[in-house]
Structure 1
Amino acid sequence: MIMRHIMAKSLAPTDSIRDYMAAQEKKSLLRFLTCGSVDDGKSTLIGRLLSDTKQIFEDQLAALEKDSRKHGTTGDDIDFALLVDGLEA
């Protein structure tokens, strides 16, 4: 009985966690991390997320379509990895 009470108390969220989560809900910036080996699709995933959330300007999309045809890595499809490959911080 005592052990169950101790475990339940240790698993209960603290005020600092609640405060942290409340602060996170108010942020408008999403930090996104992706990990993987070479050719696992990290850049493609990020590029696709940018595209699907309408974060790409029309001129960027036109250039991406042109570059995708030029590189020919995805056949007739858009190579979304080209959006982020080669970028520097």
Structure 2
Amino acid sequence: MKKVFWGFISISLLFLADSCRFDNSYKEIDSLRKHFVTPPDDARPGVYWYFMDGNLSKEGMTKDLESMKKAGIGSVVFLEVNVGVP
């Protein structure tokens, strides 16, 4: 009977010790999840933004930039190119 009792105690202590071991990993997973959902600005995706032959307006650019920010875009490479589009 004593063997069964001490065996039960030993197994219980092993399970308890094992469950305590993962306490910090849950915090790390929560931190990773938080930063994945709302990444810092330097980790957000960027886009190339082309305007051809000066076809742009202040209002249109403002709307585009606001939409990009709302979509989570972190950076823009602005290029005005001359390709012969009227």
Determine if the TM-score, normalized by the shorter chain, exceeds 0.5: no
Higher Cα radius of gyration: 2
Q: Which has the higher helix share?
A: 2
* Higher normalized contact order (CA 8 Å, seq sep 6+, divided by chain length): 2
With normalisation by structure 2, the TM-score equals 0.29
With normalisation by structure 1, the TM-score equals 0.28
Q: Which has the higher strand share?
A: 2
